Amino acid sequence: MIRKDTFWDLTAHFTATLLIAALFLIYSKDPKVILYCFLGGVLVDLDHLIDYFLYFGFNFNLKYFFEGRFLLSRRIYLFLHGWELVLVLVLLSFLNKSLGLWTFTVSLGVHIFIDNIQRDNKLFYLFSYRLYHKFNAEKLCPNLSERLDSFV
Ligand SMILES: [Zn+2]
């Protein structure tokens, strides 16, 4: 049901998040850092739901979601997947000196790094780049047609 690349992507995010959470937990002794790590490192992928709902409406199908069938919209928004957001959060973390914000920010940065190294288009995770291309999936993902053909 889950594509092999999706499974390995989730495994990588989960593993990296566990490691980051362990490091912050050792450093801070505050169990709340585990929650912030999972928000930034794993649950940030819930923004794929926004792309899904924009295409399918609120008619949710778990199989279609994990297959990425919302790509049939030929639009990719992923509002939380952007290096610009990480940069803003780094600045806010410096200003606020908040361990929780730092934890979230590091986890999100590692999450986007893991996503980024898997992409052929290395500019994909710049939100401004996707905006410049009007979120057009065919321009952002050179191999999109192969993926869309697999849905037929
Ligand atoms: Zn992601």
- Taking the centre of ligand 1 as the mean of its atom positions, its distance from the CA of residue 40, in whole angstroms, is 10
Q: Which two tokens stand for residue 7?
A: 């499974």
- Taking the centre of ligand 1 as the mean of its atom positions, its distance from the CA of residue 121, in whole angstroms, is 15
Is the pTM higher than 0.95? no
- Taking the centre of ligand 1 as the mean of its atom positions, its distance from the CA of residue 81, in whole angstroms, is 7
pLDDT score recorded for residue 2: 77
For 70, 82, 142, the CA distances from 57, given in Å and listed in that order, are 10, 24, 26
Under-50 pLDDT residues of the chain: none
75 strand-pairing partners: 136
